[in-house]
Amino acid sequence: MAMTYQRNVARFADTVGIEEAETFLAWLHDHPKAKLDLTDCTHIHAAQLQVLMASRLPIAKWPRDIALTAWLKSALS
Domains of the chain: 3-76 (3.30.750.24)
User: Taking a C-beta distance cutoff of 8 angstroms, is the pair 27, 3 a contact?
Assistant: no
Provide the pLDDT for residue 58: 94
SS (H, E, C) 16-41: ECHHHHHHHHHHHHHCCCCEEEEEEE
Look at the pTM and tell me if it is higher than 0.85.
Answer: yes
67 burial type by CB count under 10 A (0-12 exposed, 13-18 middle, 19+ buried): exposed
Residues of the chain short of pLDDT 50, as ranges, are: none
Q: Return d(Cα 40, Cα 15) in angstroms, integer.
A: 9
pLDDT score for 77 = 87
Q: What is the pLDDT of residue 29?
A: 93
